[in-house]
Amino acid sequence: MLKISIIYLRIAIAAAYLWEVADRLGLLGANGKPHVGWGDWGHFVSYARQVMSFLPPGWVPTLAVVATLGEGACGLLLLFGGRFTRPAAIASGILSLCFALSMAIAFGIESPLGYSVFTLSAASFLLAAQPVTSPPPATHSPN
């Protein structure tokens, strides 16, 4: 059951990240369409400016790119698993914790709680603490 739970957690976290990256790149449709949060990079950066309103405004575009690259990398690495699962899970935990704290500063604590961002961070750290499963050692057949 633990192996299945770990795979489920990896896929759930990966899907959440990859969905958000696809949304901000406009791959899910235009802004204002059903099930689309941002719909393009400009709307995402506007939201990032709100979330990071306590930082110098010039930092926001760069941090938006860093966050998007981090989310995409974490999403892909967690989706495919393997030896990078633990580092990706740790990075995911740190990234989502930073996002949760930024949301709490900008909008109040109910925002990251309502969107389960602290839960994502905790789940990522829990995933990082799980035993690494590696493939069985190769066996040689007698010739």
DSSP H helices, 41-137, are: 41-51, 60-80, 85-107, 110-114, 117-128
- Those residues whose C-beta lies under 8 Å from the C-beta of residue 92, and which sit 6 or more positions away, are 13, 17, 74, 78, 120, 121, 124, 127
Task: Establish if 11 belongs to a structural domain.
Answer: yes
| Residue 133 domain-assigned (yes or no) | no
In a domain, 109, yes or no: yes
Structure tokens at 55: 């930082």
Q: What is the pLDDT of residue 28?
A: 96
Whether 54 and 106 have beta carbons less than 8 Å apart is answered as yes
**Residue in this structure with the two tokens 């369409």, named with its chain if needed:** 33
CB of 38 closer than 8 Å to CB of 22 = no
Q: What are phi and psi of 92, to 5 degrees?
A: -60, -40
pLDDT at residue 131, as a whole number: 84
User: Which residue in the block uniquely carries the two structure tokens 């990896």?
Assistant: 10
Higher pLDDT, 66 or 139: 66
Domain that holds residue 114: 2-128
Q: pLDDT digit string (tens) for 49-105? A: 999 999 999 999 999 999 999 999 999 999 999 999 999 999 999 999 999 999 999
Say if pTM beats, i.e. exceeds, 0.85. Answer: yes
Q: What is the pLDDT of residue 137?
A: 53
- Report how far residue 80's alpha carbon sits from residue 67's, in angstroms, rounded to the nearest whole number: 20
**What gap in Å lies between CA 76 and CA 89, rounded to an integer?**
11
pLDDT, tens digit (0-9, with 9 covering 90-100), for 92-101: 999 999 999 9
pLDDT one-digit tens code per residue, 30-48:
999 999 999 999 999 999 9
Of the candidates 38, 1, 33, the residue with the CA atom closest to the CA atom of residue 130: 1
Residue 140 falls inside a structural domain: no
- The number of folded domains in the chain is 1
Structure tokens at 53: 């309103």
Residue 9 inside a domain? The answer is yes
Q: What is the per-residue pLDDT across 119-129, written as a single tens digit (0 to 9) for each? A: 999 999 999 99
Grade residue 138 by pLDDT with cuts at 50, 70 and 90. Answer: low
In a domain, 21, yes or no: yes
